[in-house]
Structure 1
Amino acid sequence: MTRTRKLIRVSAFALGGAAYLGVAFAASAMERPPLLLVLAGMLPMAALAVAAGWASRARYAALSACAVALVLLLLNLQRLQDHVAFVYFIQHMGAMGALGLTFGSTLWAGPEQAFCSRIAAFVMPGRLDAQYLLYTWKVTLAWTIFFALSGAVSVILFCWGPVVWWSFFANVVSPVLVGAMFVVEYGVRLVALPSRPHLNLSETIQAYQAYRRG
């Protein structure tokens, strides 16, 4: 029963994510999308912002900032509708930049402190040896490069290409590439560290969530 519930939850998350990306693609590719489509695309990001504010140590300040942002949004719906592609561009670049910094800023402290090393050490039984830590450092580097390249391509397409090309890259190609990165890394890990325990994608996400809570 637990496995069935987990499968349902993962499926619902995947469908919800696909629906959001579809709305984002449609809204950002149109010259002037319907207001309802714009608001539907903004809703998940607003919910994430409120959730992050609620979990923040400075809860009241963060929630107040969310409230101010909501008021400004409601007062500028017309402008938002006219420049929705730019809003989605800022969201995409913000996500790529934040993730790139999260991973990249941990590279300089050595293999043991790399972001992927920390997550692996948090959930793996026993102490990780030097070979495993060197591998997770390389994985952290690979993700850092991926986010940097994705951000660079996003800027190039948005500034010098048709907006529909940028929207397709940001809302379709990028998520597919993220999934492909997970699959390829898992395959490489099986070859590079054949005798070690391995986390699948679902377990990796759960490990990251546990790491953040811990």
Structure 2
Amino acid sequence: MTRYKAALALAYPLAAHFAVIHNSVTLIAVALGLLIVVPMLPALGRGSRAAWLVLPPVGAGLWWLSRSTHATLPLYIAPVLVPGFMAGVFGSTLTAGQMPLIERLIRIMLEAAPEGATDPEPEPAVRDYARKLTVAWTVFFVSLATVNLALGLLAEPGGLLLSNGMTPPLTVPQEWWSLFANMIGYLLVAAFFLIEYAYRRQRFPRQPYRNMLDFFLRVLAAMPRLVGSAAGSRR
């Protein structure tokens, strides 16, 4: 299920971009369908009656939207909402009394390491780096959401301002917005991740993982506890 979910999630930006550049209402419906259904896959896989009952209204809504003159407008939401949500996840752990998200991840990974392989308590330098990295990810996602919103407002034709009868002071081709929002933005996230990983391996050679693949798998394994600890800290 995880593999299918990842594959469908990766298919969304491709479908959204080609929907924009080809002005295809069919691809718009496919992209929006992926955006709605992918988060529902675990519930659908468990056979949740509520999740399956939601599918017909979703299908009806997508059909109605495909016949609308503003079918492209919902595609502007995800490129702002997703990085904005991620910025909130990282940023909320920087408030007083909270443990930065990256430090939580480090502690979980250290606890899961073989006994004696590494000290379960992060060094002060590591904790300081974890806080700074959490800040960096927060700023990065805020910047990404802001750029996506700005390009969406200025896009022509069919941008957010023009679709609401307002003329922006300048415009950018809608294809440029889509290229950044649905392609370049995701590549920037990957580049940030890879560059930070390479820098961290140099600065802190002793790590509870062997290579990038091992690190990625350990992060995935730590996600349930990480999400649980983040949720518990907000209560």
TM-score range, shorter chain: 0.7 to 0.9
CA distance in 2, matches of 1:158, 1:186: 31
Partner of 2:103: 117
RMSD of aligned residue pairs (Cα, Å): 3.2
CA distance in 2, matches of 1:13, 1:95: 16
Counterparts of 1:79-98 in structure 2, within 5 Å, are 79=68, 82-98=69-85
Q: In the alignment, which of 20, 25, 29 is matched to residue 39 of structure 1?
A: 29
1:154 to 125, 148, 155: 148
Q: 1:120 aligns to what SS in structure 2?
A: helix
Alignment map for 1:28-177 (pairs within 5 Å) = 28-30=20-22, 32-35=23-26, 37-51=27-41, 71-79=60-68, 82-109=69-96, 113-125=99-111, 126-160=120-154, 161-177=172-188
- Asked if the contact 1:186–1:200 (Cα under 8 Å) also holds between the matched residues in 2, the reply is no
How far did 1:187 drift?
1.1
**Which one is further off, 192-201 or 130-139?**
192-201
Counterpart-to-counterpart distance in 2, 1:87 and 1:148: 20
Q: For 1:47, what is the secondary structure of its paired residue? A: helix
Deviation at 1:52, TM superposition (A): 7.0
Matching residue within 203, 214, 222 for 1:207 = 222
C-alpha contact (below 8 Å) 1:157/1:166 kept by paired residues = yes
| TM-score in terms of structure 1 length | 0.75
Higher helix share: 1
Whether the aligned pair in 1 keeps the contact of 2:101 and 2:134 (CA below 8 Å) is yes
Q: Deviations over 1:66-119 (max 9, x none)?
A: 77555444443312xx33432111011110110011111111236x71111112
Compute the displacement of 1:49 (Å): 3.6
Superposed CA deviations along residues 140-173 of structure 1, whole A, max 9, x for unmatched, are 1111111111111112222222111010001110
Pair member with larger Rg: 2
Contact residue 109 and residue 208 of structure 2 kept, 8 A = no
Mark the CA change 1:14 to 1:64 in structure 2 (over 3 Å): closer, same or farther: closer
Given that 1:50 and 1:63 are in contact with CA atoms closer than 8 Å, whether structure 2 keeps it comes out as no
| Residues 32 and 62 in structure 2, CA contact (< 8 A), matched pair in contact too | no
Unaligned runs of 5+ in 1: 1-8
Q: Give the secondary-structure state (helix, strand or coil) at the position aligned to 1:124.
A: helix
- Equivalent position to 2:190, from 179, 186, 198: 179
Q: Which residue identity is paired with 1:158?
A: G
Q: Report the identity percentage.
A: 24
Across the two proteins, how many residue pairs are aligned to each other?
A: 197
Say if 1:63 and 1:135 are closer, same or farther in 2 by CA, change over 3 A.
Answer: farther
The answer (yes or no) to whether the contact 2:25–2:71 under 8 Å persists in 1 is: no
Question: In structure 2, what is the Cα distance between the partners aligned to 1:21 and 1:94?
Answer: 14
